[in-house]
């Protein structure tokens, strides 16, 4: 019986550097297809860089034909101008994916780190080490933008993977919880 496979495009948006990764998921097997970052010259205007992001996204989608895209949500910093620029880059990437009919899912940085390492406060080095374990990657260090994009794609796979989801039913309230979990009640007060 043939197992169906899915290709996930992971994006770490940026106006000077955009990380991207493509993974193939077949059953429980994850395969890295590509992971890199596109660098955009700071000498170019913001609009020229946005056009370069658009072109790179179109190239990635045409080349790898992903089924889904996952993208990192902007983190909320104190520099409003940086947030606006990052939002534009993210918007372009999302718009290109949508025009190609790709479902897009956005993940917060903490969610990505939690999903990959088990620690939402993990640093970039810890994330890279865990990615190396998950995909048997070489010791050679890639850019953090590229590894962040890979973490986004892996996070998306973990969130979408039915075998990792809990099979227990959710309680409908305290009474239901107590009825379904009598062993968790401590009568000694």
Catalytic residues: 12, 72, 145
Count the alpha carbons within 13 Å of 1 in the hemisphere toward its beta carbon: 3
Contacts of 126 (CB under 8 A, 6+ apart): 117, 119
Any alpha helices (H) in 19-45, and if so which ranges? none
Dihedral of alpha carbons 98, 104, 108, 110, sign: negative
Rg value, the chain, Cα: 19
End-to-end Cα separation, the chain, in angstroms? 57
Contact 38, 18 (CB under 8 A): yes
């Amino acid at each position: 019986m043939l197992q169906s496979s899915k290709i996930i495009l992971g994006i770490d948006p940026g106006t000077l550097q955009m990380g991207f990764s493509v993974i193939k998921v077949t059953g429980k097997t994850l395969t890295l297809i590509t992971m890199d970052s596109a660098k955009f010259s700071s000498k170019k205007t913001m609009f020229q860089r946005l056009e370069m992001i658009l072109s790179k996204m179109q190239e990635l989608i045409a080349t790898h034909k992903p089924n889904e895209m996952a993208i990192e949500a902007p983190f909320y910093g104190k520099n409003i101008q940086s947030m606006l620029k990052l939002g534009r880059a993210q918007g372009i990437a999302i718009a290109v994916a949508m025009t190609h009919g790709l479902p897009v899912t956005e993940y917060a940085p903490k969610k990505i780190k939690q999903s990959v390492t088990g620690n939402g406060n993990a640093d970039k080095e810890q994330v890279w080490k865990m990615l190396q374990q998950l995909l048997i990657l070489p010791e050679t260090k890639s850019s953090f933008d590229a590894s962040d994009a890979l973490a986004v794609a892996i996070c998306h796979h973990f969130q979408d993977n039915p075998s990792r989801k809990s099979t227990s039913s959710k309680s409908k309230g305290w009474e239901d919880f107590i009825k379904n979990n009598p062993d968790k009640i401590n009568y000694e007060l």
